[in-house]
Chains A and B, each alone.
Chain A
């Protein structure tokens, strides 16, 4: 089973929950950190990296001898990654989405695609836990190709826990797509509720079964619980504010190491997620 841990709002505890969910598993488990702009799950169990796979995109290269300066390539590109204003086209690889449209538009066959490195996928292990993470190179913005490569490389037997980036944009969709169930981590505050509702819209569109985990559940107000009740969204777990978890986090220790009784609660959570996935198979697959 693959569970994606996501949230609309950042800082609600996705990584804390994802790491604890994976570590509390008694059978084989994998943790996949899809927050490729700032992967941090590794800080909590210090895996040994055994393999690094470079992630490349295909970007255009123009053969100046064959180019007639017609400008068709520039007109085909909605991202302004290739521009031709009566002169030899200029390519801006960091804006390219690797769609190949300019190559198709070129009537002279003057454009070919060449690899352009944007990041790396790393695989490793910490004890019995398999681990994979993506890292986008500094200065690059295309997270989705790194996440797709990571998905292709990541899966082992047993439970796979995906730590998704925050928000509801393309990198989150790419991270969540293909999961059997999604766990949306939120906090019971107006900010948490606003961003939870956006995330709910996203996972409903994707057709993946989901439930909510309310972190720091004894702060804030009752609006998140009311929203979940109205929308018939199962609240799968609540974690009260606990200084021991915050102190452990600050030292790079997983919550389940600091608060051992959480182990059993995270095992129950995994069972509930499996129940959700069994009751409503995901509509959209990777």
Chain B
């Protein structure tokens, strides 16, 4: 299964970025092969509006099934849901910490946005 974690930098040792739409990067991780890679989210960071939607399009194109982040707003959540991506909020620490928490079932799947737009 491919997952994405919102991050402030590259790789598994980067700190989790609690924002989704304007997160600096997404660290992609394959739970079977343990392979990790990073994609830049600069285009959404600098977007005037629609950052969450654009970020959701970016991770959907990367082919992930789960997104791990701190918080997720309403437009991003709707877009991710339409692409069949499950959202897990409340991640903290490093990307590796967040992946461990996810794999141990310590992150709950979100059923709706947990923050308002532009929180």
Q: Is B50 touching A80 in the complex (CB atoms < 8 A)?
A: yes
Q: Given A74-B57, A85-B57, are A79 and B82 also a contact pair (CB < 8 Å)?
A: no
Q: Given A74-B57, A80-B57, A92-B75, are A87 and B50 also a contact pair (CB < 8 Å)?
A: no
CA distance A80 to B117 in the complex (A): 15
Q: How many residues of A contact B (CB 8 A)?
A: 13
Taking a contact as CB atoms closer than 8 A, the residue among B49, B57, B84 that contacts A83 in the complex is B57
B60 in contact (CB, < 8 A): yes
A238 in contact (CB, < 8 A): no
Q: Is A85 touching B82 in the complex (CB atoms < 8 A)?
A: yes
A95 in contact (CB, < 8 A): yes
Q: Is A85 touching B49 in the complex (CB atoms < 8 A)?
A: no
Taking a contact as CB atoms closer than 8 A, the residue among B53, B57, B84 that contacts A87 in the complex is B84
Interface string of B75-89 (1 = CB under 8 A from A): 100110011100000
Chain B interface residue bracket vs A:
10 to 19
Q: Is A90 touching B82 in the complex (CB atoms < 8 A)?
A: yes
B41 in contact (CB, < 8 A): no
B6 in contact (CB, < 8 A): no
Interface string of B39-62 (1 = CB under 8 A from A): 000000000011001101100100
Interface string of A69-108 (1 = CB under 8 A from B): 0000010000111010111101010010000000000000
Q: Is A85 touching B50 in the complex (CB atoms < 8 A)?
A: no
CA distance A88 to B81 in the complex (A): 11
Q: Is A90 touching B50 in the complex (CB atoms < 8 A)?
A: no
**A39-90 at interface with B (beta carbon < 8 Å):** 74, 79-81, 83, 85-88, 90
A141 in contact (CB, < 8 A): yes
Taking a contact as CB atoms closer than 8 A, the residue among A81, A83, A95, A141 that contacts B82 in the complex is A83
Q: Which residues of the other chain, A, contact B53 by a CB distance below 8 angstroms?
A: 80, 83, 92, 95
Partner-A contacts on B (CB < 8 A): 49-50, 53-54, 56-57, 60, 75, 78-79, 82-84
